[in-house]
Amino acid sequence: MTDLPDSIDATQNLLAGQAYLADRALATVLFLALKLGRPIFLEGEPGTGKTEIAKALAAALGRRLIRLQCYEGLDAASAVYEWNFAAQMLAIRSAEAAGEKTDLHNRLFGPDYLIERPLLEAMRPQPGGAPVLLIDEIDRTDEPFEAFLLEALSDFQVTIPELGTIRAETPPIVILTSNRTREVHDALKRRCLYHWVDYPSFARERDILDTRAPEASDKLSREVVAFVQRLRTEDLFKKPGVAETIDWAKCLLALDVLELSPEVIADTLGAILKYQDDIARLQGSEAKKLLDEVRQSLPAA
């Protein structure tokens, strides 16, 4: 287990050790959240690296990462616990066959038959210290779940009717992410320290690519980043994120590509665009046009 960072610079260095290059604004919010024990609310476009922040932080601190992937219809019970009904039924049949029904109810609704879900797991002591609890894409849930989460994060405790209230001895490090498909209630945001995670600048995305795909030549790396950044200005259904930049560069390296060409772009668009309508926009002369614009805008190396 690694100690919590004692400064903003130490926070940046901690994440850099996991190949995550955080700017100073993000490192400041993370440092303050760790220092004050506050949840972190990360909002931004899909593909800007919000989930990777939690993964990098957990790995850097040597803590367990517990992930609650949100979805429409997620309720408190699914996020906290459920009972192992199949095992309970078998236990009932065994007890009936053996004539051992004494205290059966208490045994059936005890720890042996409890399946812990992410929120309950995060309240338990973990090897290496309090875990990192990632509540991913909170904007995909509905308001009742937000209200429940607000209460759970206020006291870091959950209640199971059959077992009582379970409170975290040491609160987990909580990171919530949102792609802003809808507005999350202000009350939940007020519990957290907020940070908007934007697409990186050209220079920062170059640094990220150099870290994640160091085999790429300077020329190829510059062209890939510039082309992806140019694509983000287009009216696309799904703009490529940083993960797509890295994937594309690795695909090009696997094909022994030294520099971009309209033909190479057309052949590998599936690495950066994930919808057919977006891919169709770049067919024919459009890819060459964008590539020409990118090369004209690139500063001399």
Reported as a single tens digit per residue, the pLDDT across 46-79 is 989 999 999 999 999 999 999 999 999 998 888 9
State the pLDDT at residue 95: 82
Which of the residue ranges 93-107, 255-269, 277-291 would you say has the lowest mean pLDDT?
A: 93-107
Q: pLDDT band for position 241 (50/70/90)?
A: very high
State the pLDDT at residue 261: 94
Amino acid at 239: K
For residue 201, list its beta bridge partners: none
State the pLDDT at residue 298: 87
CATH of 8-74+118-197, one of 3.40.50.720, 3.30.2010.10, 3.60.15.10, 3.40.50.300: 3.40.50.300
Residue predicted with more confidence, 105 or 285: 285
State the pLDDT at residue 217: 94
Nearest one of 265, 185, 249 to 215, comparing CA atoms? 249
Q: pLDDT band for position 108 (50/70/90)?
A: confident
Where are the domains positioned within the chain?
8-74+118-197, 202-290
State the pLDDT at residue 301: 60
Instruction: Give the mean model confidence (pLDDT) for residues 87-110.
Output: 82
- Give the separation between CA 228 and CA 212, rounded to whole angstroms: 16
**CB 269 within 8 Å of CB 281:** no
Residue predicted with more confidence, 92 or 103: 92
pLDDT tops 80 at residue 105: no
- Give the separation between CA 87 and CA 249, rounded to whole angstroms: 49
The number of residues making up the chain comes to 301
pLDDT tops 90 at residue 194: yes
Q: Indicate the average pLDDT of the chain.
A: 92
Beta-sheet pairing, 132-136 with 65-69: parallel
State the pLDDT at residue 161: 85
Q: pLDDT band for position 300 (50/70/90)?
A: low
pLDDT tops 80 at residue 89: yes
